[in-house]
Structure 1
Amino acid sequence: MPDAAPGGTVSGVPLPPPIVGRRLAAAGALLALLAAVVTVLTFLRDPLATALALVLVVVAVVAGWDALVHRGGRRILAAATAGAALLVALAVLLVTGSVLRLVTVLVLAAVATAAARAAIGRDLAPVPVSSTAVGPAGAGVLIVNPRSGGGKADRYGLVGLASSRGVRPVVLEPGDDLRALAEEAVAGGADVIGMAGGDGSQALVADVARRHDVAHVCVPAGTRNHFALDLGLDRDDVVAALDAFGPAVERRVDLALLRNRAGDRVFVNNASLGVYATVVRSGAYRDAKLATTASALPELLGPGAPRPDLRFTGADGVPVHSADVLLVSNGAYRLNRLDGFGTRERVDGGLLGVVTVTVDRARDLPAVRTAEARGRIGLLHGYREWTTREFEVGSAERTLAVALDGEALRLAPPLRFRSLPGALRVRIPVGAPGVAPAARAPAGLWSGVTALMRVLGGRPAR
């Protein structure tokens, strides 16, 4: 089913107008936003003090990043500078009475955000291409990785809970072949197969499920669980995901395929090449992702660092011979950081998302650090994104570092990517949100205000 068209229709059928409660929430959100703006303008009464406080905060942020990426005496000095700058900034705000105004702005922003979510509801969410109510699984199997996510499966007792629901648990032991276990489950008659583990494991079991056209259940028992997030599951309620083995909603979603001369690999989230793929190979990355990434940036993106040899065709059809970061994703991301952390509006659009970041070695490293820390990597001037059904990466290197759904690999080029539209039948619990965060939220402040004005006027948000 196609997305809702401008004017608030889906396949020509009008979306229902917002109820009175949503219209009141829209009014509240707009009023809170206006009050926050007015409060911010009051800072102009003390422009020098405000400017000084802002400068000190910037100094604290820069010094804090410096402390994060260096060691020894320089780290101690940078940490001390950051702490001192924050203390002086707080003192300036206290003396001028600006702390109360700052707290007021933060509270108003929180109120505006909460009210906006209530007002907009799910109007902005794309309609799934296919969605069907289904009955309980006849012969459900759940494969459990007890080591994933720091032992989430054991903490939540997933093996026992699965058994109590009539689902046969299969525990992945050290040395087991996950694909073989999934194949055995299907050969044994499983009509629904689930995976309790990280995204790499989800991709492997999903590939088996799509090859045999059996339904898949994603149980977010990994560390980040990006796939679960964009399927609209509550990642904090691991046990609730088991409800998908009962009466559920079944959808068809896309998978993505990476092919090289060694064979095919299916992925559910993304494949990253360049800087981030190199970082993932670090032994320290799994336990300290942000710190490891931050400490590696000066070496990988500094003035003397060589650029990765990545050759591909850009969105404009022009050949490109290098990029510092290259991300190919199963669906287009609203990307926050270099590591591919973000969210997708949909995973059933039949398209790959492609993002490249190219850094000016002489001037961009501080901007990259700041954008990475703030989760706003898309604001970099060397950032490019587009969608396509197929994509190819070549190189003169014998092998390329690739982070595939977070797994560090080395693969021989050329690497050929393509979307597998609607390849996977996935079951979602009836009570799950069912919508990705990016699908519920406006793309920016102006689009959010526009959506609220539409709701206030009695029309759908889109």
Structure 2
Amino acid sequence: MTPSSGRRTAAVIALIAPLLAVAATLETTVRHFGTFVSFLFVVAVVTAATWYALTRRGLLRVLAIVVAVVAALMMVLLSLSLFLAQAVLLIVFAMAGRFALGPHSAAMMSGGPPAEPVPAARKGVLLINPRSGDGAAARAGLDAAAASRGIEVITLGPGDDLAELAEQAVRDGADVLGMAGGDGSQALVATTAMRHGLPFVCVPAGTRNHFALDLGLDRTDVAGALDAYTDGVERVVDLGSVNDRIFVNNASLGVYAEVVRAKGYRKAKIRTWGRLLPDLLGPEAAPSALEFDSPEGPPISGVSLVLVSNNPYDLSRVGRSGGRPRLDTGRLGIVAVRGARPAGEFIAKKFTVRSTADVPAGVDGEAILLTPPLVFRSLPGALRVRVPRSSSGGRARTATLTRRDLNALVRVASGVPAV
């Protein structure tokens, strides 16, 4: 349908907002050049002080923390007015853009084809890890919420094999399989669902729930995710694998993996990071044995961190740095860091890491040991995922201006339908 005058006006406002944001930045830089230079200097001080605070011990660490905090406060004061202006313009862009494009527009939404409505599960089964998220399932009353929807619940007990419980649920006739727990548990049950071609339901009852976030679920409404069984929509998403182990989010090698596998990490995460980082990144740290081929040049070695994600992260996304706009590109995202400096960032269908010894890895937050070579693969469209119809349709919203959004807004501003 031809856009109304209100939507056309909103489209014009949405197009102007980012231009004003750029203009405000340029105006501040030109008129207050001294302040701009001071800001850059303070950013450098914050970066250096933070690095020393993470990789040193004793008095030097304490002094670095003090310097980092003071410099960070100065950075906020120097940029406060510009930050507020940018934030207001971003909100104007997002609100005006969404109104202009309409609630059913494909623009302003990241993702592939829209999710399709599906009938209610005949025999939905939900596996629950009661220890995930410090008891998030119990706090949300998942048992009762599932029973009210006719969903069978299987609670993981001490010594139980989660993968075997999922396989048994399939043998008993489950036609929709779900998991309430952290990302590591999600990956195990998703593997079973993939193997049998069953729809999978992600219930965000873990600590961070990255997979749920990128599926467009409301992580604060744990019980609400169960509506995927009774009033859901379905789409297919990719999975990743490393040496045939499936992951839904990412696999990390190097510093993160070493910390995750350390004794006491689960009970005292921050303390463990503070205790180990000087040994892993400090001046006395042993050189890394990890090596891989770069598509843009010679092999890369000596990296302290390699992160391989199931679909690339978008580190530029405002308000959700590190999220994945899409889960269906059929690509892996690879980020490598050497010390405090980036060593490489690229996208690939397959990725191999070499090493002279077994490699500790954090796969969806679970510590494991892998035998090299480590072969990472993207598994396009491997998993059928159901989410509640009331969610964002399995696609994560973003306020980032893309070329697709720009074209759609220009069409509406011109009086032409966006889609």
Q: How far is the alpha carbon of 1:272 from its aligned partner?
A: 1.7
Q: Distance in 2 between matches of 1:393 and 1:307?
A: 16
Answer yes or no: is 1:241 the counterpart of 2:225. yes
Aligned with residue 111 of structure 1, among 92, 96, 103: 92
Report whether the alignment pairs 1:391 with 2:351.
Answer: yes
Equivalent residue letter for 1:142: L
| Shift of residue 167, structure 1, vs aligned partner | 0.7
1:83-137 per-residue CA deviation (whole Å, 9 max, x = no partner) reads 55566678x86xxxx9666644543344334434555663154664684322111
Query: Secondary structure at the residue paired with 2:190?
Result: helix
Q: Which runs of 5+ in 2 are unaligned?
A: none
From 14, 27, 31, the counterpart of 1:29: 14
2:240·2:332 contact (CA, 8 Å) conserved in 1? no
Report the Cα distance in structure 2 between the residues aligned to 1:32 and 1:105, rounded to whole angstroms. 9
* d(CA) in 2 for partners of 1:330, 1:99: 36
The answer to whether the 8 Å contact 1:344/1:436 transfers is: no
- 1:254 maps to 238
Q: 1:459 to 1:230 in 2, by over 3 A?
A: farther
For 1:408 and 1:311, how far apart are their aligned partners in 2? 20
Deviations for 1:25-74, whole angstroms, at most 9, x for unmatched residues?
Answer: 33223434444445442565454456446645654565456446555433
SS of residue paired to 2:89: helix
In the TM superposition, residue 400 of structure 1 has moved relative to its aligned partner by 0.5
Task: Check if 1:357 corresponds to 2:354.
Answer: no
Structure 1 pair 226–137 and aligned structure 2 pair: CA distance change class (3 A): same
Aligned to 1:6: none
User: Which residue in the other structure is 1:77 paired with?
Assistant: 63
Q: Is the 8 A contact 2:182 2:204 kept in 1?
A: yes
Partner of 1:268: 248
Query: How far has the Cα of 1:408 moved from its partner?
Result: 1.0
Q: Is 1:305–2:305 an aligned residue pair?
A: no
Partner of 2:369: 410
Name which of structure 1's ranges 270-279 and 298-307 shifts more when overlaid on structure 2: 298-307
- Contact residue 290 and residue 302 of structure 2 kept, 8 A: yes
In structure 1, C-alpha distance between the alignment counterparts of 2:7 and 2:264, rounded to whole Å: 47
Cα deviation for residue 153 of structure 1 reads: 0.5
Give me the whole-angstrom Cα distance separating, in 1, the residues matched to 2:74 and 2:300: 47
Whole-angstrom CA distance in 1 between matches of 2:274 and 2:415: 47
Partner of 2:141: 157
1:326 matched to 2:306: yes
1:315 to 280, 295, 305: 295
Change (3 A) 1:125 1:56: closer
Q: CA, structure 1 residues 212+303, in 2 after alignment: closer, same or farther (shift >3 Å)? A: same
Out of 350, 370, 378, the residue aligned to residue 419 of structure 1 is 378
Which deviates more from structure 2 when the two are superposed, residues 309-318 or residues 246-255? 309-318
2:181 matched residue in structure 1: 197
Q: Normalization by structure 2: what TM-score?
A: 0.82
The answer to whether the Cα contact below 8 Å between 1:69 and 1:291 also exists between their aligned partners in 2 is: no
Letter in 1 for 2:285: A
CA deviation digits over 1:142-182, x for unaligned, max 9? 11111111211111100111011111111111221111211
Q: Are positions 1:430 and 2:389 aligned together?
A: yes
Select between 231-240 and 126-135 the one with higher mean Cα deviation: 126-135
User: Which region of structure 1 is more displaced relative to structure 2, 311-320 or 246-255?
Assistant: 311-320
**Displacement of 1:354:** 4.0
Letter in 1 for 2:135: G
2:253–2:360 contact (8 Å) kept in structure 1: yes
**Is the Cα–Cα contact under 8 Å of residues 57 and 278 in structure 2 kept in the other structure?**
no
What secondary structure, in the 3-state scheme, does the structure 2 residue paired with 1:159 have? Answer: helix
Q: Offset of 1:282 from its aligned partner?
A: 3.5
Q: Give the distance between the partners of 1:447 and 1:131, measured in 2 at CA.
A: 19
Task: Quote the RMSD (CA, aligned, Å).
Answer: 3.7
Q: Is the 8 A contact 2:110 2:395 kept in 1?
A: no
Matches within 5 A, 1:325-344: 325-335=305-315, 342-344=322-324
Amino acid at match of 2:217: L
Question: Given the superposition, is the C-alpha separation of residues 455 and 62 from structure 1 closer, same or farther in structure 2, using an over 3 Å criterion?
Answer: farther
Measure the CA separation in 1 of the matches of 2:157 and 2:137: 13
Q: Which among 191, 195, 217 is matched to residue 201 of structure 2?
A: 217
2 CA distance for matches of 1:440 and 1:285? 33
Distance 1:124 1:47, change over 3 A: closer
5+ residue gaps, structure 1, are 1-15, 369-379
Give the superposition deviation at 1:184. 1.7
For residues 210 and 28 of structure 1, do their structure 2 counterparts lie closer, same or farther at Cα, with a shift above 3 Å needed? same
The answer to which of 196-205 and 451-460 deviates more is 451-460
Cα pair distance change 1:115/1:191, threshold 3 Å: same
Q: Residues of 1 paired with 2:63 and 2:352: CA distance? A: 46
Cα shift readout 1:165-208 (whole Å, capped 9, x = no counterpart): 11111111122111121122112221111100111111111111
Native 8 Å contact 2:15 2:409 kept in 1? yes
- Describe the shift of the 1:413–1:35 C-alpha distance in structure 2 as closer, same or farther (beyond 3 A): closer
Residue in structure 1 matched with residue 413 of structure 2 by the alignment: 456
Aligned mates of 1:55, 1:86 — CA distance in 2: 11
Residue aligning to 1:376 = none
The DSSP-based 3-state class of the residue aligned with 1:216 is strand
- Within a 5 Å distance, the mapping from 1:65-144 to structure 2 comes to 66-67=52-53, 70=56, 72-82=58-68, 84-85=70-71, 103-119=84-100, 122-123=106-107, 125=109, 128=112, 131-144=115-128
Q: CA deviation at 1:394?
A: 2.8
**Aligned mate of 1:173, from 157, 160, 175:** 157
Find the residue that maps to 2:323 and give its secondary structure.
strand
Whichever residue aligns with residue 382 of structure 2, its letter is A
Distance 1:284 1:122, change over 3 A: farther
Alpha carbons 2:117, 2:233 under 8 Å: kept: yes
Aligned equivalent of 2:260: 280
